[in-house]
Structure 1
Amino acid sequence: MAGVWRCMLATMIVLCVCLWGSSEAVGGAKSRPRPQRRPPKKPKVDSVDVIPPAENIDIERMTGTWYLLNVASKCSYLINHGTRVEPTVMSLSRSSPSEQTLSVSTKTRHDHQCWEILQLYQITPTPGRLTLKGARPELNTEIVIGETDYSSYAVMYYHKRGKITIKLYGRSVDNLSEPVLTKFEQLAEKQDLGLAYLFPFPTYSHCRDVDQDHVINCIPTC
């Protein structure tokens, strides 16, 4: 009988030791959490809200013809096809000084045919700021006229879904000075758009007449 009790006592001691050891492992020493990998740091991109437009922008003086000369962008289309961009010309018009929209006609070539893209920029209460409305508010493109002298060049910022594209326009294809081109490169660099993201556009063979079948209303991807 005594042997049976000793056997039972030994079994209980072993059981207690096992339970104590498991509880120590759970409630005692705590395991450290696994280190989590930090998300990659996104390059700093200023919203156009913090990019001031040129002072006292006169939207009437912005109307007329503008030739696209250079683009700074991380747009995937330009990165993949930037060496095959086509000459592009933009025309701005306004039906009356009281009209709160700016009509935009962009002519370019696609598949060896001339196309015209028609858009409406909404004029905001802040001079030099425009909005191209998308299908939903989060798809709007905010536009800032950053710098211009009206007669030779204009730098325009396009902000959509956290990405900025900067475009350099000229009144003609051959009257831009080297300081203007250098200034454009410096403005692009401030938005983390170095030389690898600059895409010069051809300055010859621009589209003029366009068939009605090639007139479309759409929002550009860049």
Structure 2
Amino acid sequence: MAGVWKCMLTLLLLIFVCLWGATEAVGGAKSRPRPKRPPRKKPKVEPLDLTSAQKNIDIQQMTGMWYLLNIASKCSYLINHGTKVEPTVMSLTLPPTSDQSLLVSTKTRHNHQCWEILQKYNLTPTPGRLTLPGSRPELNTDIVIGETDYNSYAILYYQKQGRTTMKLYGRSIDKLEEPLLTKFEQLAEKQALGLAFLFPFPTYSHCGDVDQHHKINCVPMC
């Protein structure tokens, strides 16, 4: 009888070993992981803090009227309505009582009315660099006067929360020479703002009298 039990135990042990081996074989046959796609390389964007302002910028010579001619931006509004932009003009004024700020008036048309947006840029110790304070420090807008000859054109950079917008202004509504337009496009390309993100503005029918005045604490990124 003991021999019979011994045989049965041996048989059960063999069955257990076989089942264990089969389980290991199934578990061990691991499928190869699917190859992961390499992450898309983000276009190399030149940070605004590395963008040099024009040397020896004279903020006094920047005052006066500037017509907005072109914008380079990934602003969703421009992407969806870039063909419906309105003529826009910006006026810069240094207040007589302070040398630490620059008053900015932007006139444009909205809902068939002329609006004037009033802002104040704070000057920084670095010439050519300004700040528009937001409701919180992280909402500040950094502004750089990248290039200007004071008399015909100016290229300004605006950056807020890591997003950069570039604006090309002219002293008159006349079209700028082709080399300047090409330069603006090349500078925009360094910010990953190719031709698809360039939006020319009308150079006619600018606002005269204003229907609405608005004081806002943020610069439109568009």
TM-score scaled by length of structure 1: 0.88
Matched, 1:108 2:108: yes
Give 3-state SS (helix, strand or coil) of 2:17's partner.
Answer: helix
Considering only aligned residues, what root-mean-square deviation do their CA atoms show, in Å? Answer: 2.3
Tell me what 1:5 maps to: 6
Q: Which moved more, 1:52-61 or 1:89-98?
A: 89-98
Q: What amino acid is the match of 1:4?
A: W
Confirm whether residue 160 of structure 1 aligns to residue 134 of structure 2: no
Cα deviation, 1:153-182, whole Å, max 9, x if unaligned, reads: 100111122222111001111163222222
Q: Which amino acid aligns with 1:182?
A: T
**Any conservation in 2 of the 1:45–1:163 contact (CA below 8 Å)?**
no
Partner-residue secondary structure (3-state), 2:169: strand
Residues 60 and 97 of structure 1 are in contact (CA less than 8 Å); yes or no, is this contact kept in structure 2?
Answer: no
- State the percentage of identical aligned residues: 64
Describe the SS at the equivalent of 1:182: helix
Alignment length, in residue pairs?
Answer: 220
1:198 maps to what in 2? 198
Alignment of 1:34-113 (within 5 A): 34-96=34-96, 98-113=98-113
Q: Kindly report structure 1 stretches of 4+ aligned residues shifted beyond 4 Å.
A: 20-26, 28-34
- Structure 2: which 5+ residue stretches go unaligned? none
The residue matched to 2:11 in structure 1 has which SS? helix
- Give unmatched runs, 5+ long, in structure 1: none
The residue number in structure 2 matching 1:14 is 15
**Superposed displacement of residue 100, structure 1:** 1.3
Shift of 1:37: 3.5
Residues 110-161 of structure 1 show CA distances to partners (whole Å, capped at 9, x for unaligned) of 1100111111212111111111222332222211101001111100111122
TM-score, structure 2 normalization: 0.88
Q: Distance in 1 between matches of 2:189 and 2:179?
A: 15
| Residue 125 (structure 1) aligns with | 125
Q: 2:150 maps to what in 1?
A: 150
Q: Distance in 1 between matches of 2:208 and 2:180?
A: 27
8 A Cα contact 2:165 2:221, kept in partner: no
- Tell me the CA shift for residue 68 of structure 1: 0.3
